[in-house]
Structure 1
Amino acid sequence: MSLIKQLAELVGFHLSYRGAFGDKVIAKDQARRALLKAMGFDLDDESLIKAITLLNQKQWLNILPAVHIVKLEEQQHFIKISLPKTESLLLQWKVTPDLENEFEDGLGSDIAGSVEINSLQLIDETDIDETHYCQYLLPLPVLEQGYYQLNIHTDKVQANCPLISTPKMCYSPQKASANKMWGLTAQLYSLRSNNNWGIGDFTDLCELVETSVTQQASTIGLNPLHPLYQQNPAHRSPYSPSSRCFLNTLYIDVTKVANFESCNMAKVKVNSKTFQQNITAAKASELVDYPAVAKLKYEITELLFKDFDDNKKDTYPLMSAEFDDFKQKHGKDLQRFATFDALNEHFNLTEKNVYGWSDWPTNFQDPNNAEVGKFQLSHASRIEYFCFLQWIAHTQLNAVTQCTKDKDMAIGLYLDLAVGCDGSGVDVWSDKALYVAGASIGAPPDGMNPLGQNWGLTPINPIALQTQGYQPLVKALRSSMQYAGALRIDHILGLMRQYWVAPGMAADEGVYISFPFDDILRIIALESSRNNCIVIGEDLGNVPDGFSETIQNAGLLSFKVMFFERWESGLFKRPENFPVQSISTIATHDTATLSGWWQGRDLAWREQLNLYPNEEAGHADRSSRAGERQNLIAALEDLKVIDISKAPQQEPALMNTELSVAVQKYLATSPSHIQLIPLEDVLEIAEQVNIPGTIDQHPNWLQKLPVMLEDFWQVNSVKEIIQAMKEARPN
């Protein structure tokens, strides 16, 4: 085996994978080389031999592992340690709760002890450079679930590593409700209301929650709420965030900021004729006009911050105290985030085409550079402003979360965690050692995307993730779970194996790399348990056999999309085949809506945008749709959920509400503990939210709902579907 292959395999790259069409795909050597180089490896023979040797020997040369997972259900816990052989040596150890990760209930005090090394169980030994190394099992004390630090030392050596004590299972949806539940999913930006400024906001969300509860809905699902780029509002995909640890401040309702009513400057500006005309124009726009909305909102938040900053001691002491608490809680991470936004704004004012840190002067591309420190001093007020925006967004979203609790909504908010971050954003800038610059996360070719996908997201280095004790993952999970009763993890397969596209290579030439999935599932279970948050793994696409069962065994819910649940014959699977530990739904943001599918709108887009690998594939898709419509009607009739005399016309295909209601009744019969209904399907919208593989060719992440929120509940299809859900899945 070549040195490149040896190193690639040690790092975790797969030599091949089984494609969605059953073919064996061999990884290209060119891709392996490019990805290893992106990970920081030198590729000359001498460097390769050195890297291979170090990776092979690290389990011996390192006294403790980078991080150790303690399985809470096991009666006795051990950790493997490696030491040079000695006749007799006293080893002292101490387990300390990690105060930065401690919840309110605390984890008790330090636990310490000592042991003669030669009394430990010897499990393996080897010789390296004339030194004989021995691996032992060191017993650990019984620990409550949580985060700890283990320190060990002798009179010759000292070492430490994180200990993470985890449950086996995530928080169960049955704890939220013993009954099967249902809920609605919304693209928050798409909500239209009398009071918003051209984009759905947190006040709209609160109103949606309040009315949905009265209709017996158990949850409201949302697109990711991660921050994008304030200086580039046209960058709109919620799955390509700058960070996964903060919020998109475009969703702030400016009129609900605490000092809005008392800020005369802001009220005069908002009430001015020109400003009101601009609000009207933003609301009237057929698609969300992100730049126009951003200009409106941030013009007023600037005034609100100035008013707050000038008067916080005398007029706003309570606001000031809460803001200080928020800053203290988020500490360095918030300062880094706000510094990034301030720097990006600064360089946008002086240069065109600045989209992120890689476009800044070199001295500012490292957050630890002295120039960044000087900037923080000279622009302290501006950095404080960006902290202020995050605090306002947190306050308003937290109020929605509290509303779900006050209204006894069984689950509450169902949030979405993106699979990664945009490479130009703050998370990558803040910790370049964690990320593999130049590489991109994607997906191999499949039935929906036969050319493969390159999502443009910078992947995390799995070795660095372990070295950091999984804390970047913990922060991302916790940042969303603090608001959520359920969290969907996008493309969860990427936490077991991730498809990386090398710099300059096509999306169908990617290589899989393994992640420490068992450890990651344990950490997800720990954070789920601590936050009482249900976790859903989006396990669609080219997933290996048994993967869905693996996540279900860890307490995560699988994701069942009706369009994908078919037998090889093309017949739809009966919903009774869905597992209890799952969520069922008709569609996702990346698939056609029911109306669009029925009428072939998705096929027309694929043909128009040349998304087929060849003409034959497109012709086959279009030819089979008529039969697929017949199969759907047959499946609905089989379960007696459709009045066949009212079934919609098939040729040419016309949509009707009988079909909309029947499909939801069909899914409601499944054992799936949660059923989700997209607002686009409730309203029988033909256009899908996003077409993967496109950016501006289709109005991705731009479309507003055709109905105002105030009128939503009076729409006939809405009333009929909700009534059907009340009967099929009563609270």
Structure 2
Amino acid sequence: MSELIEGLVASRGIESAFVDAWGKPATVSDDTKIKLLKAMGYTVDDQEALEIQVEDSVVKQWLSSLNPVQVLKHDEPFIFPLRVSIEMAAQALTLEVHLEDGAIESREIEAVEHQLINVAEIEDEEFHEYAITLDVDLPMGYHKLTVKQGDVEMASSSIIKVPERCFIPDDIEKGKKIWGLSVQLYCVRSRRNWGIGDFTDLALLVKKAGDNGADFVGLNPIHELYPANPESCSPYGPSSRRWLNYLYIDVEQVPEFDNSVVKAWFKEQAIDKQLENLRACDYVDYEGVAAVKLAALNQVFEQYRTNYLSKNTKQNKAFKTFVAQGGESLQTLAVFEALQEKLKAEGRECWGWPVFPEEYNAYENPSVAKFAKQNKNRVNFYLFLQWQAALQFEAASQAASDAGMSIGLYRDLAVGVSEGSAEIWGNKDLYCTDASVGAPPDILGPLGQNWGLPPMDPIKLYEQAYQPIIDLFSSNMHASGALRIDHVMALLRLWWVYRGDHASKGGYVCYPVEDLLGILALESQRNQSLVIGEDLGTVPEEIRSKLADNGMYSYRVFFFEQAEDGGFYAPEHYPEQSMATLTTHDMPTLIGYWHCDDLALGKDVGLYPDADVLANLYDTRHENKQHILNTLHGHHSISSNISHNVNEVGMTKELNYGMQTHMAAGSSALLSLQLEDWLEMDKPVNIPGTFKEYPNWKRKLSRNLEDIFADDAIVSLAKNLTNRRNVASNN
């Protein structure tokens, strides 16, 4: 590599080496590093053009008097860099700090009186960089710094003052051990929903769970997907992470559903019969659910628009307030969805913005503004859906509070958005669409993983004053007692894979971890939301300490907590500042694990073409099951009715529930258990590494929500979990 490219690799945070999941050193090829620079927009194939590009970047920085953003820790002095020409260094400048509460602190300075830290010659003019110290007491929050010469504003910068750590509820900090349920909301069956779990189901679930001792219900990502493409149903490949999936709206709870016109339509279209069929499906029929929900919501919206939104009503004022608060992000989503709807109706390819007609392939295009104006009613319809979804989610959150849950709802933030998403369409500069994030080879994915999610460019994120990440944290913590951050390592580094390359040929790109952790802590404190970081996979040990110091809770999965001799660590040895769980959405259920159903399924869908590899996996599973039995018996978590010999033990209710109560005796502050395991289900909700081979993200629960807590065995399990957690709290 040339010296210029080597310098760029270092300055852009592309790592040349790392330690893999097995603790061995690994290197990144020069070819990969050059490709990642190319994905970032560098003209790596033209040395002369690259030199000009780099020089322009340096000039741009020196001609900007202030950095776009600065994050200050709670105990840091207010010191920032100021760049001015040598002629201006001795002139009077006014610094104004616009505090978040509206107050303004003003100071007169001469840059030359402060510490000189750098000098450069830019376009035949000498520039100096000074470290300016201001005696302004900044409260925690978001502030703005401006520098003026006379009445002319030269530059402005965002100043973010952040707390020491994330929010932790008092009772948990004092040692209380709690448990809760995790659920994929779309999986929930009920006698009244429309073929998919919804926010009314969620409100009932938190009430029932809370009445039986649970302190939280954890959700899959409930981000907005694609109304015009309902089969794109992975919650981890959303269109927008800031907004909610409209399919979770309970249509019958939307005002005007009881309108006579809507009722007549409902009867004429025989909607009851359609809903009966959708409820009976064992897998969510996303096409069917979306068709009936969108049709019904259109009917409801037309009545609501006529009765309220076309008049000066309190409802119209509330709607407009919601839209104004949502800002450009919400408007972008609504326009995107209205446009996608139109293209689909015309029979055109519309899975995402890369296949939109050129005039519509970016939100800022004039044709898009024209479309939005001409189709204002359809845009308002999609704005209305987000409003109703937010209101119903907030109602479910209130139901959790009313049930006495100490945390209530906890949400899951996906690591990115899919390539064709509204989020990228509205902010293309931020994303590197010639790359995708994933993971290097590890225990979960020996070949590496490519998730098809374009990464944010760390430099562009910085230049945008971190606003996209602030909005993400804030919106996902709203009305939630906790937030799980999927692949929390994204705050430190992400594995980038260049378009078309194998996942194993990627490389790590670093992110401004200290700044991002500070912003996370600020939003966590503001929203009173505990933070859980999913820290599985290739994770440097030092980052775990950094996350813990920042008040974040680690993620501990029983099946991965294994010693070198094969034995499983007792949950009493897990860090207190963690959430323990038996399985996850990417793993088999307890029955599936014990009976090796996941290995059989993997063979059926082509994940294990090598018979020897599969045989070894079966042997390892057999050994692990014996170790698990040894652990359970050693801690008296199961009775002597269950044999000590794995060859004699199938999965039973006693063993299933015994494993769950075994976890409840552990030291982790939080324990999350999957509702599927309460119901003794065998089929997984997702098989990683598959797309069409298995119906991922569709499998429903085996029983109606109304019947689950009427089961004496389940009620007894919940009571035992609560008792065990109480004992653990007092130890």
TM-score of the two chains, using structure 2 as the length reference: 0.94
When structure 1 is superposed on structure 2, of 150-159 and 502-511 the one drifting more is 150-159
Match of 1:298 in 2: 294
Match of 1:278 in 2: 274
Measure, in 2, the Cα distance between the counterparts of 1:433 and 1:394: 28
Match for residue 111 of structure 2 among 114, 117, 140 = 117
State the Cα deviation string for residues 169-210 of structure 1 (Å, max 9, x = none): 000144567411111111101111110011111110000011
Measure, in 1, the Cα distance between the counterparts of 2:533 and 2:627: 28
Match of 1:93 in 2: 95
User: In the alignment, is residue 195 of structure 1 matched against residue 192 of structure 2?
Assistant: yes
AA aligned to 1:93 is L
Measure, in 2, the Cα distance between the counterparts of 1:657 and 1:606: 25
Measure, in 2, the Cα distance between the counterparts of 1:421 and 1:390: 18
SS at match of 1:80: strand
Measure, in 2, the Cα distance between the counterparts of 1:595 and 1:313: 52
AA aligned to 2:49 is S
Aligned-residue offset at 1:223? 0.5
Residues 419 and 489, structure 1, Cα contact 8 Å, conserved in 2: yes
Match of 1:34 in 2: 35
Aligned-residue offset at 1:612? 4.4
Question: Residues 307, 647 of structure 1: CA spacing in aligned structure 2 closer, same or farther, 3 A cutoff?
Answer: farther
SS at match of 1:535: strand
Aligned-residue offset at 1:314? 8.8
Residues 485 and 533, structure 1, Cα contact 8 Å, conserved in 2: yes
Any gaps of 5 or more consecutive residues in structure 2? none
Match of 1:180 in 2: 177
Percent of pairs identical after alignment?
36
User: In the alignment, is residue 223 of structure 1 matched against residue 224 of structure 2?
Assistant: no
User: In the alignment, is residue 449 of structure 1 matched against residue 445 of structure 2?
Assistant: yes
Measure, in 1, the Cα distance between the counterparts of 2:712 and 2:402: 29
Match of 1:236 in 2: 233
Question: Residues 647, 718 of structure 1: CA spacing in aligned structure 2 closer, same or farther, 3 A cutoff?
Answer: farther
User: In the alignment, is residue 500 of structure 1 matched against residue 496 of structure 2?
Assistant: yes
Measure, in 2, the Cα distance between the counterparts of 1:300 and 1:368: 32
State the Cα deviation string for residues 13-56 of structure 1 (Å, max 9, x = none): 11232222344333234433333223222121012223444566
Residues 10 and 55, structure 1, Cα contact 8 Å, conserved in 2: no
Match of 1:80 in 2: 81
Match for residue 343 of structure 2 among 335, 344, 347 = 347
Question: Residues 369, 546 of structure 1: CA spacing in aligned structure 2 closer, same or farther, 3 A cutoff?
Answer: same
Aligned-residue offset at 1:91? 2.7
Aligned-residue offset at 1:304? 0.5
SS at match of 2:109: strand
SS at match of 1:421: coil
Match of 2:208 in 1: 211
Question: Residues 500, 612 of structure 1: CA spacing in aligned structure 2 closer, same or farther, 3 A cutoff?
Answer: farther
AA aligned to 1:91 is L
Match of 1:288 in 2: 284
State the Cα deviation string for residues 100-151 of structure 1 (Å, max 9, x = none): xxxxxxx250111012323213344455666554432212311111101111
Written as runs of structure 1 = structure 2, the 5 A alignment for 1:563-642 is: 563-612=559-608, 614-642=610-638
* Alignment size in residue pairs: 721
Residues 146 and 153, structure 2, Cα contact 8 Å, conserved in 1: no
Match of 2:139 in 1: 144
State the Cα deviation string for residues 201-228 of structure 1 (Å, max 9, x = none): 1110000011111112110100011000
When structure 1 is superposed on structure 2, of 32-41 and 128-137 the one drifting more is 128-137
Q: CA RMSD in A?
A: 2.2
Measure, in 2, the Cα distance between the counterparts of 1:316 and 1:306: 16
Match for residue 424 of structure 2 among 425, 428, 441 = 428
Measure, in 1, the Cα distance between the counterparts of 2:108 and 2:310: 57
Aligned-residue offset at 1:649? 7.3
Match for residue 658 of structure 1 among 640, 654, 657 = 654
AA aligned to 1:149 is K
SS at match of 1:645: coil
Measure, in 1, the Cα distance between the counterparts of 2:725 and 2:426: 46
Match of 2:244 in 1: 247
When structure 1 is superposed on structure 2, of 520-529 and 168-177 the one drifting more is 168-177
Measure, in 1, the Cα distance between the counterparts of 2:312 and 2:179: 42
SS at match of 1:711: helix
Measure, in 2, the Cα distance between the counterparts of 1:613 and 1:150: 60
Match of 2:540 in 1: 544
Match for residue 321 of structure 1 among 317, 329, 333 = 317
Aligned-residue offset at 1:9? 2.4
AA aligned to 2:148 is H
Measure, in 1, the Cα distance between the counterparts of 2:402 and 2:311: 30
Aligned-residue offset at 1:240? 0.4
Question: Residues 414, 671 of structure 1: CA spacing in aligned structure 2 closer, same or farther, 3 A cutoff?
Answer: same
Measure, in 2, the Cα distance between the counterparts of 1:327 and 1:433: 24
State the Cα deviation string for residues 43-96 of structure 1 (Å, max 9, x = none): 21012223444566776554322210111233x321122334457332320011
Residues 449 and 611, structure 1, Cα contact 8 Å, conserved in 2: no
Question: Residues 120, 252 of structure 1: CA spacing in aligned structure 2 closer, same or farther, 3 A cutoff?
Answer: same
Measure, in 1, the Cα distance between the counterparts of 2:157 and 2:611: 56
Residues 93 and 148, structure 2, Cα contact 8 Å, conserved in 1: yes
Residues 94 and 108, structure 2, Cα contact 8 Å, conserved in 1: yes
SS at match of 1:644: coil
Match of 1:101 in 2: none
SS at match of 1:714: coil
Measure, in 2, the Cα distance between the counterparts of 1:622 and 1:30: 38
Written as runs of structure 1 = structure 2, the 5 A alignment for 1:327-366 is: 327-366=323-362
AA aligned to 2:139 is E
SS at match of 2:244: coil
Match for residue 52 of structure 2 among 47, 50, 53 = 50
Written as runs of structure 1 = structure 2, the 5 A alignment for 1:368-517 is: 368-517=364-513
Aligned-residue offset at 1:663? 1.8
State the Cα deviation string for residues 517-547 of structure 1 (Å, max 9, x = none): 1100000000000110001111001111222
Aligned-residue offset at 1:600? 1.0
SS at match of 1:312: helix
Measure, in 1, the Cα distance between the counterparts of 2:129 and 2:649: 68
Aligned-residue offset at 1:610? 3.4
Residues 566 and 572, structure 1, Cα contact 8 Å, conserved in 2: yes
State the Cα deviation string for residues 296-333 of structure 1 (Å, max 9, x = none): 11111111011111222699934323222212221332
SS at match of 1:651: helix
Measure, in 1, the Cα distance between the counterparts of 2:407 and 2:511: 30
Measure, in 1, the Cα distance between the counterparts of 2:310 and 2:611: 71
Question: Residues 65, 608 of structure 1: CA spacing in aligned structure 2 closer, same or farther, 3 A cutoff?
Answer: same
SS at match of 2:143: strand
SS at match of 1:169: coil
Measure, in 1, the Cα distance between the counterparts of 2:439 and 2:685: 19
Measure, in 2, the Cα distance between the counterparts of 1:82 and 1:117: 9
When structure 1 is superposed on structure 2, of 708-717 and 690-699 the one drifting more is 708-717
Question: Residues 430, 407 of structure 1: CA spacing in aligned structure 2 closer, same or farther, 3 A cutoff?
Answer: same
Question: Residues 177, 408 of structure 1: CA spacing in aligned structure 2 closer, same or farther, 3 A cutoff?
Answer: farther
Any gaps of 5 or more consecutive residues in structure 1? 99-106
Measure, in 1, the Cα distance between the counterparts of 2:8 and 2:327: 38
AA aligned to 1:49 is E
Residues 190 and 200, structure 1, Cα contact 8 Å, conserved in 2: yes
State the Cα deviation string for residues 481-520 of structure 1 (Å, max 9, x = none): 1121100011010121001110111111111100001100
User: In the alignment, is residue 675 of structure 1 matched against residue 671 of structure 2?
Assistant: yes
Residues 647 and 659, structure 1, Cα contact 8 Å, conserved in 2: no
When structure 1 is superposed on structure 2, of 376-385 and 572-581 the one drifting more is 572-581
Match of 2:518 in 1: 522
Residues 439 and 500, structure 1, Cα contact 8 Å, conserved in 2: yes
Match of 1:104 in 2: none
User: In the alignment, is residue 8 of structure 1 matched against residue 47 of structure 2?
Assistant: no
AA aligned to 1:685 is M
State the Cα deviation string for residues 667-717 of structure 1 (Å, max 9, x = none): 222221111111112112122221111112122111110011111013355
TM-score of the two chains, using structure 1 as the length reference: 0.94
Measure, in 2, the Cα distance between the counterparts of 1:175 and 1:465: 36
Residues 176 and 411, structure 1, Cα contact 8 Å, conserved in 2: no
Measure, in 2, the Cα distance between the counterparts of 1:351 and 1:30: 41
Question: Residues 520, 273 of structure 1: CA spacing in aligned structure 2 closer, same or farther, 3 A cutoff?
Answer: closer
